[in-house]
Amino acid sequence: MRKKTLELSVGLFMLAGFISLAVLALNVSGLNLAQEKGSYTIYASFENIGGLTARSKVTVAGVTIGRVVNISLDKDSFSGIVEMSINKDYNTFTTDTAAAILTAGLLGEKYIGLVSGADEEFLQDGGRIDDTQSALVLEDLIGQFLFNKVNE
């Protein structure tokens, strides 16, 4: 009897440990295995990506539909290439879709906002967005402002 309760409590302890791992994975870190499968990749090149990082959100009208997977530099044009993974349910972006790097709040995180265009054709897996708007860099803005003041 004594041995049974001992084994039972050890079993419950181990079970609690594994359940905690599952809670940490699913509830705290938001690990979602199903979402990774149904997605396709599109690229966009920006003159300046500002503070955009991998895992940043990709949104349309404020709704998150994917995320940034990878950021690299194009050696020829010296522009930043952003690789985005988009949920497969949203595959009706036209080829003239515009992408902009936006900021949440005044000092918040950077994310990508997409605005669909009016073209007939849709972006395919591996497609590329040409109409892009770079991140707002505060230093450039202040510089421009000062320059205009001086010119006045």
Binding region for other proteins (CB under 8 A): 3, 6-7, 9-10, 12-14, 16-17, 20-21, 23-25, 27-31, 55
Nearest alpha-carbon partner for 114 in 140, 80, 91, 141: 91
> 46 with 134: CB under 8 angstroms?
yes
Q: What is the smallest separation between the CB atom of 59 and other proteins, expressed in angstroms?
A: 13
Q: What is the smallest separation between the CB atom of 47 and other proteins, expressed in angstroms?
A: 25
Q: What is the smallest separation between the CB atom of 84 and other proteins, expressed in angstroms?
A: 17
Residue 26 or 138 with smaller CB distance to other proteins: 26
What sign results for the dihedral spanned by CA atoms 116, 121, 125, 129? negative
Nearest alpha-carbon partner for 82 in 39, 43, 51: 43
Residue 104 or 146 with smaller CB distance to other proteins: 104
> 41 with 84: CB under 8 angstroms?
yes
Q: What is the smallest separation between the CB atom of 136 and other proteins, expressed in angstroms?
A: 21
Residue 85 or 97 with smaller CB distance to other proteins: 85
Residues 6+ apart with CB under 8 A from 75: none
Residue 20 or 124 with smaller CB distance to other proteins: 20
